Chains A and B, each alone.
Chain A
Amino acid sequence: MSPTLTAILICTFAPLAAFFVTYTVMRNRPKASAFFSLAGGFASLAAALALLKAGPIAEPLRYAWLTSGETNLFFGFLLDGPNLLMGTIVAFIALMIQIYSLGDMAKEEQGRFFPLLSFFAWSMLSFVYSSNLLQTFIFWELVGLASFLLIGFWYRKPSAEAAAKKAFIMTRIGDVGLFIGLILLMQTTGHLDIVHLNSPETIAAIPGGRLTLITLLLFSGIVGKSAQFPLHTWLPDAMEGPTPVSALLHSATMVAAGVFLFARFHPLFLASPTTIDVVLSIATFTAVFSSTMAMVALDMKRVLAYSSISQLSFMLIGLAAGNLFAGVFHLATHAFFKALLFLSAGSFIHHHGTNDMVAIGRNGGRSMRWTTLGLIVGGAALAGLPPLSGFWSKEAIIGALTVGGVPVFIALTYAAAFLTAYYTFRMICLVLFPNPNGQLQPDEPAPASSGDHHHHGDSPWTMLLPIVLLTIASAAAGYFGFFVDQTLDANRELAHHASWGDMAPAIGIALFGAILAWVEYGRKGASQTGFVSRLPMLQQLFKNGWYVDEFYQRTFAKVVEGISVVSAKIEDKGIDASTDEVGKATIAFGYSSASTQSGYLQFYVATAIVLIAVLCYVAGMGS
């Protein structure tokens, strides 16, 4: 077995092995469970780094899988630039989350939690390194399953249960589109191999209308998985899951799978201008849309969830503008700083026992040193302030869009960037500079006694270590841009880095947002009410998520419910009843047949004699 194959197998299957071992044997032994899971995570990361070091390989490792007539589907591992990058990021962040979970999850829950994390790691890594679209789809679904299991981890809470179901069903709706697109692709081109599908010859061979249809269908899957409008409402609700889950799945990796799919098929998407327009419309709208909801929310995790939606839109904008580097780079940096933000938030939440940032602030949030540092660095990166990583990637995106872009999209993107900086610093100010006399009241105050936590300490080292590592990563990743670019496409020249003058608008917008937030929330004696509160109707609209959920409940949910009721009736009266009737008929037939058994001995003898005579007659006539 070649070293490459060994490495990739270790990378993807180490978590699977950890999952099997921990799930079957060690569910009641949290320490052993954690140990094996972490071991799997380390192995995965080591293998991914080794592969990254070895550099991209253009041709995938293929193994025969499904053959039918002339069609051949191969499963295999593709190890080119984007895959290697994504795989390393996923493995690294998964490991950070696992270390964090040691501190954050209660001991008795760990035995059940770590296997699920390993399961997710396996599905996500296998998804990343797939070489065949069908294989990708299978793991896409498995990742969705892992998300369902993890969101509903505290399954006894009805809200968690409902959130898990919602997440699964909504992403499923998108997945139907994805699957239809997959089938059409198979039908049109005859194979589903990713490398083949991206080659110019294959793309040129697909007729234009068909290509648009296929890419739109593929995009519908992305809309579901990456929580873009209109399939976005599941992501805020998914915060019902434990914080490590939110950090891993719903910021850095799983939701990024949708964007990653877009990146994988970048040439295909770019070939259809209609689809690009649709993508840009939805993405720019969603970016602003979710930012509005973030700027009035008080639950820290919710703010970060809306923020993830918005940042995913940014990634899509960058990709749709034609710049593969911009989108993928932002995916990478976002993974780091969003995970950092979630972990910091989780650290605050774990310490103070409430999600509400106002309550945390008033409860002495600032006293947690390392966590606060993480929050600030992550927030600044998110807002796009230089010299942090988020700035470089966001600048790349805006730069890609402004080159010959449609003005509406550019305006919306700038608006979203402004709002991002605004709500991020709002959150930071509310936590770090609380104003007990301010007009803002917490939605969910901190519990009176926070157990045995001392108010002036910080979280345990298992939670702080990942925060520190991710802080470093968020700050420094910006300077690895050239590495990312090289890895993505070794043949291309280095991306043109704009001069400071070109970057000025982006910096200015971010600074403006940050300063406005400081003015409204952070100054001494600030009222801590945002400018939106001047328009209460608008604030209500944002607070309730533009009433999208209610709309869905009134329309689609009702329709589906109606269909379910009818189906249940049909099943009960129709199908069940008819099977019962078959059973009853058989019994009746049996009873009537039994009446031939009269019980008289001689009756049987007579029957036998007559039958023998008949038999002999028949036999005799034959010969």
Chain B
Amino acid sequence: MSIHLHFFLLLSLLIFTIGIYGVLIRRNLIGILIGVELMLNAASLNFLAFNRYVVTDPAVGQIIVLFIIGLAAAEAAILLSIILRVYRSHRNIDADSLTEMRGR
């Protein structure tokens, strides 16, 4: 029995959902970053799966995935330097204490 497309789709959806859950439940900023990375990877898995099963041009999906990986690296760098900055000014990196942008 061959593996269907929606196995991979479901798998990537699962990892993505776990990533969302991680973003929402974590109070540590780095924990939030972990969730974001999970989501990105799930997305690239999705792309590659589609490339394999549906699209005839083989290299498009791979290039997209490479692009995503590169972007994730750039984004992680920026995020981590922001986290350092936040740590310097707040002495902790708890997301729940960063509420200066409150409306009321």
On A, residues with C-beta under 8 Å from B are 591, 593-602, 605-606, 609
The B14-60 residues at the A interface (CB cut-off 8 A) are 20, 23-24, 32
Q: Are A606 and B24 in contact (CB under 8 A)?
A: yes
Bound complex: CA A593 to CA B104 (Å): 9
Select B101's contact among A597, A605, A606, beta carbons within 8 Å.
A597
**B1-9, B70-78, B91-99: which one contacts chain A?**
B91-99
Q: Are A595 and B103 in contact (CB under 8 A)?
A: yes
Select B24's contact among A591, A597, A605, beta carbons within 8 Å.
A605
Select A602's contact among B23, B102, B104, beta carbons within 8 Å.
B23
Query: Which of B32, B98, B101 is most buried by chain A, counting CB atoms within 10 A of its CB?
Result: B101
A185 to chain B, nearest CB (A): 65
Bound complex: CA A609 to CA B23 (Å): 11
A and B contact pairs by CB, cutoff 8 A, 18 listed: A593-B103, A594-B103, A594-B104, A596-B103, A598-B102, A598-B103, A599-B100, A599-B102, A600-B95, A600-B99, A601-B32, A602-B23, A602-B32, A602-B95, A605-B23, A605-B24, A606-B24, A609-B20
Q: Given A595-B103, A601-B95, list of 7 further CB < 8 A pairs?
A: A596-B103, A597-B101, A598-B99, A599-B99, A600-B96, A602-B24, A609-B20
Residues of A within 8 A of B96 (CB): 600
What residue of chain A has the Cβ atom nearest to residue B95's Cβ?
Answer: A601
A597 to chain B, nearest CB (A): 3
Q: Chain A contact residues: over half helix, strand or loop, or mixed?
A: helix
On B, residues with C-beta under 8 Å from A are 20, 23-24, 32, 95-96, 98-104
Residues of A within 8 A of B101 (CB): 597, 599
B21 to chain A, nearest CB (A): 10
Residues of B within 8 A of A591 (CB): 104
What residue of chain A has the Cβ atom nearest to residue B100's Cβ?
Answer: A599
Query: Which of A595, A596, A602, A606 is most buried by chain B, counting CB atoms within 10 A of its CB?
Result: A602
What residue of chain B has the Cβ atom nearest to residue A592's Cβ?
Answer: B104
What residue of chain A has the Cβ atom nearest to residue B99's Cβ?
Answer: A599
Bound complex: CA A606 to CA B96 (Å): 14
B37 to chain A, nearest CB (A): 15
Residues of A within 8 A of B104 (CB): 591, 594-595, 597
Bound complex: CA A599 to CA B20 (Å): 19
Known contacts A606-B24, A609-B20, A601 near B98 by CB under 8 Å? yes
B94 to chain A, nearest CB (A): 11
What residue of chain B has the Cβ atom nearest to residue A598's Cβ?
Answer: B102
Q: Are A597 and B103 in contact (CB under 8 A)?
A: yes
Bound complex: CA A283 to CA B80 (Å): 98
A278 to chain B, nearest CB (A): 74
Residues of A within 8 A of B20 (CB): 609
Residues of A within 8 A of B99 (CB): 598-600
Bound complex: CA A609 to CA B98 (Å): 21
Q: Are A597 and B102 in contact (CB under 8 A)?
A: yes
